[in-house]
Every structure is written in structure tokens, then in C-alpha cells.
Structure 1
Amino acid sequence: MAVTVSRSQLARIVAAHRRAGRRIVFTNGCFDVLHRGHVSYLEQAKRLGDVLIVAVNDDASVRRLKGPDRPVNTVDDRAAVLAALECVDHVTQFGEDTPLALITLLTPDVYAKGGDYTPEMLPETPVVHSFGGAVHVLDYVSDQSTTAVIDRIRSSTTA
């Protein structure tokens, strides 16, 4: 099981993985209500390398990105659930709206995002390419979204 680590700890961990010749895959997201689509996406990301790092948005950044009713789960809870997944090697938290600072610090070999994006949409793409990394957009599980799950829960409690 992975554990949540700070940026500085993660930088040291990544350096050790690099010395061992491991390919580093990085992804990020809110992961507010983890569902099958998230798990599929993270498993796909892991197959792109040896080490999967997941950066999870903290509560304040989720509110900025998703609205005042989010997140449903705290960042510590979301990070703990992600860390429990077999495919996830390391979890860290970040408070910025994008993971650019983390990507610049860690210089992953691969930056993975879900299929609801294109590389051209991502502000991270030019940064990743600047140090020779690759950007992979992974398959999207079309019938799965956190917003849809939350909406179903809300509608069942108001009915």
C-alpha cells in the first residue's frame, strides 16, 4: 500500500527510483468519489511505466475547480483511498489549480490524463515535452463520472 508523502519526500523518492532505472508515471486529479472509471484510468496509467505517482487536489483547490459543494470527501480521505489501490505507488497532495509545479519538480517520464482531455487542452503538455517526457491521454469510461454519482445520490435523497 502506498502512503501519502510531501513534495520534498516525493522528490527524494523519485530520485531513488530514477537511480534504479524505473520509468515514472505521474497523474493528478480531484478523485472526489472514487469510481470504476477512476480505477480503470489509474490501472492504465500504471501500465505506462514502473512507478505511478498520483497527485490529489487539496480541498480548497477542489472547491475552486468544482464549486462550493465539493469536495464530498476530504483530501486525507481521498488520498488514503488512492493509496490503498494496488496500482498506485505514491500519493501526494497539491493546492494549486494545476500540477505544473509538481511536474516541474519531478520531471516524470510520462504524464497521464483521462480521455476527457486532449494533449492540446493541457497546460502541462509543453512543460512535460520540454524535459523529454511524454503525455498520454487514456481511455475514458464514458458512463462514469463523480458528478453523475453525486447527482444520483442527491436525487435519491430528495425523492
Structure 2
Amino acid sequence: MKEFSTGRAPEPGEKIAFVCGAFDLFHVGHIDFLEKCYSMATYVIIGIHSDQIVNWYRGYNYPIMTMFERVLSVLACRYVSNVVIDAPFKISEQLMKHLKVDYVIHGVRTPVKPCPDGSDPYSEAKRLGLYREVDSGNDMTAYSVIERIIKNRVKFEERNKSKEQKELDRMQST
């Protein structure tokens, strides 16, 4: 696990939030969610899961973006102060103490997947009273972005086939 920062350390008394996930295909839904997190805590640390962990809980074809791309996308967001690369799936008390977090935040629109042993990855944060859920107010997901790309690709291919056929028909008629 490595930390990668924007260079600003939390100031004394500042509320610190920890949020973890894939953050694949960074989109406006992520931004809306992180803005809500930032309204609760002005220093937001994002834990980016490894490709292996994302592949386990999202499926074989995920993540779409590399770890490097996901980290840079998240760091470009104005509501993010720091990134933890290769964050663990289960959040331990030790990690929360190390990061000095006041809140561990999860989005309500993303179901919590249990750990491989069946336990809740947020159990320690809940036990310590640090767990919070936030609703981004936005339905966009990486899945919906992918569906849109696939749908538009088919339309684009059909349009090009139609144009090609019209050109062939013109060439044959002359």
C-alpha cells in the first residue's frame, strides 16, 4: 500500500474521510459522490483497489483503466486530497488510525460486497462509529458508461455501413 498525495497535509482540526473503490472510468457520478464526501470532511483520502481486487468483485473484464490511469483521474478531482494505492478491500482499525480518519464513507448506490470470508469490509469502521453512507444523487456508473459506448458503437457502425453502401451504389450507377 502506497500513499500518493497532492502535497497538502491535513490541517489540525480538519475532518478526514476515507473512501475506497475501483474508481474505474472516472465520471460525473464519482465527482458528485466525492463532492458530497467533501461536504462532510474537507480532507478526502481515496483508497484505490488493485486490479486483482477489482477483478474479483467486479468481474473478469474489470478494471478497464490501469491503476495509474485510475489514480491520476481521481487526483485530478478537486475534492480529493490524497490517494492510497492498492488499498485493502477490508478496512482495518490500524488503517483508520494510521490515516487518522473521522469517517469511512461508502456510496449508497453501490452495494457492499462481502469479503471472501463472508465478513463485512466495513465492520471495523461501523464498530468504531466512523462509517457513513452518502448518496451522490447520480445514477451514472462505470457499467452505464460502458453500455452507452457499446450502444453508440453499433449505431456508428450501422451509419458507416449505410454510407459505404450509398457510395458503392453511386459508383455502380455511373
Contact 1:113 1:136 (C-alpha < 8 Å) held by counterparts: yes
Structure 2 residue 43 is matched with structure 1 residue 51: yes
Q: Over alpha carbons, which structure has the higher Rg?
A: 2
- Give runs of ≥4 in structure 1 deviating > 2 Å: 95-107, 116-119, 121-126, 140-143, 154-159
Cα 1:78–1:118 shift into 2, 3 Å:
closer
Q: TM-score, normalised by structure 2?
A: 0.71
Give the equivalent residue in structure 1 for 2:13: 21
**Gap runs ≥5 in structure 2:** 156-174
3-state SS of paired residue (2:17) = strand
1:6 aligns with 2:17: no
Post-superposition offset of 1:22: 2.0
The percentage of aligned residue pairs carrying the same residue is: 22
Q: 1:66 aligns with which of 36, 52, 58?
A: 58
Cα distance in 2 between the residues matched to 1:141 and 1:153? 22
Assess if the C-alpha contact under 8 Å between 1:62 and 1:71 holds in 2: yes
Gaps of 5+ in 1: none
Structure-2 residue corresponding to 1:149: 145
Q: Kindly indicate whether the alpha-carbon contact (under 8 Å) linking 1:118 and 1:137 is maintained by their aligned counterparts in 2.
A: no
- Please tell me whether the aligned partners of residues 61 and 95 of structure 1 are also in contact (alpha carbons under 8 angstroms): no
- Give the length in aligned residue pairs: 148
Distance 1:109 1:141 in 2: 23
Q: CA RMSD in A?
A: 3.0
Range with bigger deviation, 102-111 or 41-50: 102-111
Map 1:1-159 to 2 at 5 A.
6-7=2-3, 17=10, 20-94=12-86, 96-100=88-92, 102-103=95-96, 105-116=98-109, 123-131=120-128, 133-159=129-155
Q: TM-score, normalised by structure 1?
A: 0.76
Q: Shift in Å at residue 48 of structure 1? A: 0.9
Q: Cα 1:124–1:147, aligned 2, differ >3 Å: closer, same or farther?
A: same
